[in-house]
Structure formats: structure tokens, C-alpha cells
């Protein structure tokens, strides 16, 4: 049987153990398959207008994940299905979900709030949007339980890369299959993390 999953490690007790328990979003990528899935991934740019409901349309699908990065020195923001309405995650440090950045994922695109990180009047922004598709991309969520070496099953995808986005005060982490065992990278530029990052290995 082909088991498609990845494992998680519990943080050591000295590193905010309570944050190992809570809602987390996950993005699981099968990179070779993703390269062929043009109908499920779009990129683009827009100019901010400073309004609280700036819509980006024309994707041709309802995205399950959107990342926005300003052309100036602002942190990237990401929103996935399952995140609270009106909120998204800043890809930086240990912050909770933020309002007024990416506020919704829509039938043909996404809508922005009026935060400078995603919609400053006259500023240029760049975005990538993905839709979940069997064998390529899975976007989901799970509730942490604080246990070590926990397995999270991912139907339909053999993971090449995984991104975990904690809802509360904790940093987002990325792991690729070619990294050493137990290693991951903080997406806020914090560098390599080892067992503190909850990472283990992928299975087939």
C-alpha cells in the first residue's frame, strides 16, 4: 500500500510547548507533478489601491492558497482554505493570523484588505495562487496534540515538500525531501531548525 504522509516532532519543553497544541495549516507539494499542473497554478502582479476590498480575478479556479509579496520591503502574506475569514498568515516571525491582508479566496481569484503589506495605494505586488489537485498539491489543516513523531496522512500526494503554518504565535516552517533527517527551514529567514521544528521524514 502506498502510504502518503509526513511525520512531526514535538518541540522541546523549553521552546513554548503549548504552541505544539493548536490549529495548524499545511501545504503539501509533489514538485515534479506540480510542474505539469498549469491549470492549477497562476502567478501575476497588481497595483495596490488602498481599499479594503481590492479583488484580483481571472484565475480560472478557486485558489486553495495565495501568497502575496510587495515590491518594497514588506513581509509576504499567505492565506489558505480553512484559515479564519478575513485573516491570513504573515510569513515572518512568530505571529498569529493577521487581519486586512488577504481577506478571502474567491471563485475566480482572491480579495485583499487595506494593509500596506498587500494593498498600499500605488505600490506594486506579486502573487502566486494554487488549487489543490490530486498528485500535486494538498492544502489542509490539523490540530496539534503536542506528541512527538506524529504522522499526518496526506491523501493523494507523496510529499516532496511541506509547509506548516501555525495559527497562533509560532513561525512557519518548510521542509524539502532532500534535507537531512529532522531538518526544516523557518520561512521568516530565521534559518535552519532541527528537532524544534516538529519535522521528521516523509514516507511512501
pLDDT(199) > 60: no
Residue 93 to residue 99: CA distance in whole angstroms = 16
Residue 19 to residue 17: CA distance in whole angstroms = 5
| C-alpha 65: how far from chain center | 7
> Is 0.75 surpassed by the pTM of this model?
yes
Lowest mean pLDDT among 16-25, 102-111, 164-173: 16-25
Q: Give residue 82's pLDDT.
A: 86
Residue 96 to residue 88: CA distance in whole angstroms = 9
**Residue-range domain boundaries for the chain:** 5-30+133-203, 38-130
What is the residue-averaged pLDDT of the chain?
Answer: 76
**CB distance 51 to 73 below 8 Å:** no
SS (H, E, C) the chain: CCCCEEEECCCCCCCCHHHHCCEEEEEEECHHHHCCCHHHEEEEEEECCCCCCEEEECCCCCCCEEEEEECCCCCCEEEECCCCCCEEEECCCCCCCEECCEEEEECCEEEECCCHHHHCCCCEEEEEEECCECCCEEEEEEECCCCCCEEEECCCCCCCEEEEEECCCCCCEEEECCCCCCCEEECCCCEEECHHHCEEEEEC
Q: Give residue 25's pLDDT.
A: 59
Q: How many CA atoms lie within 13 A of 72 on its CB side?
A: 11
Residue 76 to residue 188: CA distance in whole angstroms = 9
pLDDT tens profile 162-186 = 888 888 777 788 887 787 777 777 7
Between 169 and 140, the higher pLDDT residue: 140
Strand partners, 23: 143
pLDDT(58) > 90: yes
Instruction: Give the model's confidence band at 85: pLDDT under 50 very low, under 70 low, under 90 confident, else very high.
Output: very high
Amino acid at each position: 500500500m502506498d502510504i502518503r504522509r509526513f511525520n512531526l516532532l514535538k518541540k522541546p519543553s523549553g521552546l513554548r510547548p503549548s504552541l505544539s497544541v493548536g490549529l495548524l495549516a499545511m501545504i503539501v507539494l509533489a514538485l515534479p507533478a506540480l510542474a505539469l499542473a498549469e491549470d492549477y497554478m497562476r502567478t501575476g502582479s497588481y497595483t495596490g489601491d488602498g481599499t479594503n476590498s481590492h479583488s484580483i480575478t481571472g484565475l480560472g479556479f478557486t485558489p486553495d492558497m495565495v501568497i502575496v509579496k510587495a515590491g518594497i520591503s514588506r513581509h509576504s502574506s499567505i492565506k489558505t482554505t480553512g484559515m479564519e475569514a478575513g485573516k491570513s498568515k504573515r510569513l515572518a516571525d512568530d505571529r498569529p493570523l493577521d487581519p486586512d491582508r488577504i481577506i478571502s479566496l474567491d471563485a475566480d481569484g482572491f480579495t485583499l484588505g487595506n494593509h500596506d503589506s498587500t494593498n498600499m495605494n500605488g505600490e506594486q505586488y506579486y502573487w502566486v495562487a494554487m488549487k489543490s489537485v490530486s498528485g500535486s498539491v494538498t492544502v489542509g489543516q490539523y490540530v496539534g496534540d503536542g506528541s512527538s513523531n506524529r504522522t499526518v496522512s496526506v491523501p493523494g500526494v507523496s510529499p516532496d515538500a511541506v509547509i506548516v503554518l501555525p495559527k497562533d504565535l509560532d513561525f512557519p516552517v518548510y521542509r524539502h525531501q532532500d534535507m537531512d533527517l529532522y531538518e526544516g527551514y523557518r520561512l521568516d529567514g530565521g534559518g535552519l531548525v532541527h528537532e524544534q521544528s516538529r519535522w521528521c521524514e516523509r514516507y511512501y
